[in-house]
Amino acid sequence: MSTVTNILPTSARLARIKPSASGSARERVMQLMREGHTILDLSIGEPDLDTPDHVKAAAIEAITRGDTKYTGAAGTHALREAVVEKYRRENGVTIDASQVFIGSGAKQVLHNAFAATLNAGDEVVVPAPYWVSYPDMVALSDGVPVIAPASAARDYKLTASELDRAITPRTRWVVLNSPNNPTGASYSERELRELADVILSHERVWLLSDDIYEHFHYGKGKALTPLEVVPELAERSLSVNGVSKTYAMTGWRIGYGVGPASLIRQLVTLQSQTLSCVSSISQAAATAALNGPQDFVEHCVATFRERLDAAMHILGTVELLDCVRPSGAFYIFPGCARVIGKTTPDGKRIGSDVDFAAYLLDHAKVAVLDGSAYGVSPSIRLSFATALDTVKEACHRIKSACEALK
Ligand SMILES: Cc1ncc(COP(=O)(O)O)c(C=O)c1O
């Protein structure tokens, strides 16, 4: 009689990565809510606003018209042309449709880029703090994430000399994310030029610029993308963006990448053997979002600015937190070094930002993410992509929870 063993097949590739910290946090909050707890959720990474009506109508029309079949692996011509037009209109950059790849969210574009270009041991420079997924995505594609810490004193923005030091003969990509998740910091024109000069001085290094928060900018003028500041990067960069955040369309899963046609062909080959293509209906919706009226974006940013002002007004008075006003995205990333070593009202010692986030959840019923998931501790990430009253109440509770520490 044969014995059936139950050994789960696991690839070495998968064993290198862990579940997304923000995804896990979201599940934890949902579970608490299902159990009947009222949680003020500042852990969210998506706008709470609804997708604009004309975008929804375009999706319904696509269904009615019968646009319900596979599309080309690079995306529909209409959507790629809408991206071409977006770059002309908003960035003053001229590209053509052969330079555009449509993915299932910016996240899938990033994954395809790493999977299509990295070989074992190739390095990718990831400035810290970083969006939680970059290091794992690099590792999944056999690459080595090289974390380059950026200093809090310089708004967590990497300097040209710090970048230069992080580059080795194995470096293939440098990831820049501006405006940044989790810090909200945005690079200035001068800073982008200096970083681009370093990249251009290393022949084999490419720039992966994640511009997903491009439109969430609270300073003067607009947030600048590397490609518009340094056109010479066009031959050696992939700019990643999408409709998720800008048009409140996270669930539609549409992102795009813009790069040299030769690189785009590699991403398309991978797509053709994996996803085949992105949902035809979502692509029709994203086309309408990019080609249609843009007043939603202005409204969204004005709404978020009001929330940011309200949050900073309260958090700025919390003695135990170091809060820098972000210039973009929809996150605040306070340092919480002075909280470490304190004791909670029920006698627990706070030994890390993970403990602090757990304390805020238990004691104040406010969900935040700990900075360790973003590569910089001790700190926490607060999202203001939620209703103004919720933001205000949550910040008041954080203040009271800090005051209750001994
Ligand atoms: C920096 C950054 N890049 C990419 C993404 C993924 O965006 P998408 O929903 O288009 O996959 C996110 C989502 O949180 C993000 O914060």
What is the tens place of the pLDDT at every residue in 22-59? 777 778 888 888 888 899 999 989 999 999 999 999 99
Q: What is the pLDDT of residue 378?
A: 97
- What's the pLDDT at 28? 81
Can you tell me which atom of ligand 1 is nearest the CA of 210? 3
| Contact (Cβ atoms closer than 8 angstroms) between residue 118 and residue 323 | no
Cβ atoms of 108 and 126 within 8 Å: the answer is no
CATH for 93: 3.40.640.10
* Segment 231-235 mean pLDDT: 95
198 CA → ligand 1 middle, Å: 26
Q: Domain range holding 116?
A: 69-293
Residue 68 has pLDDT above 90, yes or no: yes
306, amino acid identity:
E
**CA 146 / ligand 1 centre spacing (Å):** 20
**What three-state secondary structure class fits 307?**
helix
Average pLDDT (272-289) is: 98
- Tell me the pLDDT tens digit for each residue of 172-182: 999 999 999 99
Name the token pair of 313: 């007004």
Of the candidates 266, 293, 320, which is a domain's last residue? 293
Q: Measuring from each residue's beta carbon to the nearest atom of ligand 1, which residues come in under 6 Å?
A: 45, 105-107, 131, 177, 181, 210, 212, 242, 244, 250, 255
Q: Which atom of ligand 1 is nearest to the CA of 329?
A: 16
CA angle 10, 16, 21 (to 5 degrees): 110
Q: From ligand 1's centre to the CA of 368, what distance in Å?
A: 18
Quote the ligand 1 centre to 241 CA distance (angstroms).
8
pLDDT digits (tens, 9 = 90+) for 121-156: 999 999 999 999 999 999 999 999 999 999 999 999
Q: Average pLDDT, stretch 234-240? A: 97
Radius of gyration of the chain (CA): 22
Closest residue to atom 13 of ligand 1, CA basis: 45
Pocket residue to mutate for ligand 1, from 22, 24, 102, 107, most atoms within 8 A of Cβ: 107
Give the pLDDT confidence of 73-91 residue by residue, as tens digits: 999 999 999 999 999 999 9
Quick: pLDDT tens for 245-259. 999 999 999 999 999
* Of the residues 237, 265, 293, the one at which a domain ends: 293
Structurally, how many domains does the chain consist of?
2
pLDDT in tens, 104-115: 999 999 999 999
Average pLDDT over the chain, rounded to an integer: 96
Q: Are residues 21 and 85 in the same domain?
A: no
- Domain edge (last residue) among 252, 270, 293: 293
